[in-house]
Structure 1
């Protein structure tokens, strides 16, 4: 009986311990293939990863992002940064890749916890999970990775404390934990002898002194935390705050009774609130009355609505014939204002009444306003009319700035022909120059021609856009575009030309606020939309270059709310992992003959998006360098065509 009891006790202790040991998995290429397909099924239901499941092995199929050993018998690296993966990593996937040496799933939307069986990857040297939505604590299996050197878990939602078990990772030289929800203190005994790069910034719940072993790290490794001590300010032994006195603690005028002045203040405040309510109701009544006038104010087209075509025919001062939501018709005549033409009058004269009768189609919407394609009676001319959202400039200042913009004449800038300014409406009238934006070509599923946009065409678009921006910059050190993004690069229907639109519009609006939409193009030093230096234009242009090469949208760039990536950061992460080919859009990745030009343009895009403005090239240099790339690419294409035709004829 005693033996039976002992046996049961032993089993009760041993079984849980065995459960903690790494699970035995199939150490062969077939097991790796099964694990990868299971991982793809969990994280990539849209099958965006071009992995051929009919391939006998991932090595034979050359699956993108999968690196095999030199002998081709095991998967040793999995690199899938910025692949729009989502969902959770199930057990038996990553943990079954037992020969894995590097795992990079940066900048995706993966949720859930770090898989507990990651400890099965005993050969893992690099783990890069930055920029996901991972939650929970770092699992126990993580600390079994004895040869781990580089760990990047930043930008997630990981919780728990920074454990002393990190001391088991003796080979660790890089540990990035910033931007999570770790809490507690950093253990005083934390010691990683080879650690050279460390960051726990923006974990607001980390408190207490910095361990002595980390005092040599720079202060910016601990920003946004409650930590203290070297290299931060010295820790202080603060006493707990005294409790607030109870209402009955005192007998003076500050106790339970209100003073005479407090009562007067309450009465005055109540009167002010009543007056504000009366004013608000009166203002609302006026707006409703104005909205009910038949003289015709049109409702704004809602954000994100599909392009619509409307027709306006003003018949008299009291009626406007309209269909659906007329984009331009409002009560703009009553104050006597007219269109102000900049430069010469148009060959076919038109006035505001004619513009109001135009057939109009919504082309685009952004934080600054809505742009319409307006076709005047008879079909000619066709104009682009931008209706500004909110202008904070007085009329004389608006006129001066518009005159400066109207004086800019360049082949790659749409010409500003006229403007309209009234109390209620501000319009800009341009020549209509193109069929659609570069953003639509690259990212709209229904856009024709995206799949056929080869590298040379993309480089040409970058070149003509660079010429337009460089021309603006030649106007002086204070001349800048201020809002460069792919939706403001208009490409012609034949894709042999492009224009940079919306130059200077942010200064015309006069608003300092920086809209969230399009933030992925904005240089980090820009704080005021009215004052964008030329170096910030260079940064924005560099993001467009990276967008052209990768086919990926920057963060907050798409109007439908689709997720984008921090392009400069993502590109650098991929290049640092020595997997540069993953940067390029699949349409151009394997394009023959232009590999060098693609790499040169990538390098230029990275230089333009340097964090420090003084390290960025000028737009004149950018224009010259892209021009040489385009010339070299065209020369190679012509040589290849000529050589190929001779070979066929021979």
Structure 2
């Protein structure tokens, strides 16, 4: 029996080890190591050979972790040619994104082995040579971007082999010859700024002028019509020439003078017309620069920077091309422009995309707040992020970057992490994780008609506790004032776990700006109205208002609170003073039983937080401790229905705010 047991254990160990070894894409890992060892790259592409390749930056594997499915290294500082027998060995690769680097030469011939490849983005590099023949064999390709390189020669007719292609981007190269008739069902197409000639094929006439502009010898379709006269007019025969009489010569001279006058008038008219066109173009360009700020994140918002209904003026692969809006953000084309104004990832970054990816993203407006407009941006590879376009930012680039680096170090489950930022003279963008369940404000104050799912008491307590933990972490572990606490800045995971956003931004806004004056209306502590400078204690006040919002179901600046100008804390105080405490609570909470004591306890904590005198308010860790004590006592009496962490405000960096002994004053009675 013992021998049988030992054999069984041995077999089990072998199976486990074999399964573990099978979960590592060994051959693909060797190919990637060979590639990165031969190509100079940025420090962020620091692949640890002892770790699984599936955990490397920019690498994504299939669910079984047996093959590499995507390699995304945009703007990764890659320099030089791509060696043969490296990337071409990734036989199961679906997505390859290496645009905006400084790669040279042509694409390796063994790219023809990437038969499962569906999207290839190599734009904004320094590739050269003729159209890569290996690509015409990749019949599963749907998006192909070779834009902004130095490819030359003809565009091959064999592109028709790519029967699944719906996006083809060849602009800003040196391609020459005629455009072949491409029969694929293209949705996005751009060959602008090449050396192409001849007429545009009928299969491509559906695309706008911007898809073909910059090819001086190209005609037809949206461009100028092609000249249909291919032969010169016949010259008169010598026999037909009859000597002119003096009268006829005199008449011809008179006609010649009239012709000269006509030509002069026509030239003047043409000059005037050109002048008017120039003035119109300058005015339109100025208008576009103004509107590019609306367009400039209709890119992270309907296509950042003007676009994605059409991409960004037609740039690469869903990456549609070039537009003045895009140029405003990137400050020039080519890798050099991308280096001057680039998307900066903080704390190592959790994503592998760059500014160009954001400019091409499809997006929608999530909301306009006091610090700027937020957009949900869906990148081509499926990643979803939130892009916030800031307004009224003061200070220079160095101060901005220093503050953003500090915010990027904040890592806690109840804090929305800042992932990246972008700074230029005209645009300041922040990139955050996308929270699928939206904001507390939307959930709490959304339509209360039929079919509404109300926010129950347990979830309200979960949100109150999680928000307190996130704020305590910011105050203690990072010495950061949030400065903009409100229900629309408490975002929710699908399980209603909260995370605070928009923290630490107050210092980069002008104290005299209108957005700063109107910030957190209804949540502002009385002293901030005068100083316009948030503090730890003013954060506590705003948090107290947030608790009242959870308890009452009323928005802090809601007109239904009663007298004009009354805020939520004063309204609650006035109701409690008349001993109508039950009237304070949200009617949606009244259907739940045995929660009255908890609601009153939380109301006591909230009223302590919104004390008029700052010194009478608890610190944020103290307020957290009050709520924890309340939930612990409740879990003891309810057989552990509500659980609380023993380490509530601990972030992922292991730091915990110091313990405080303060408890809610027993004298505070609503």
TM-score, scaled relative to structure 1: 0.48
- Higher helix proportion (structure 1 or 2): 2
Q: TM-score, normalised by structure 2?
A: 0.47
Quick check: which has more Rg, 1 or 2? 2
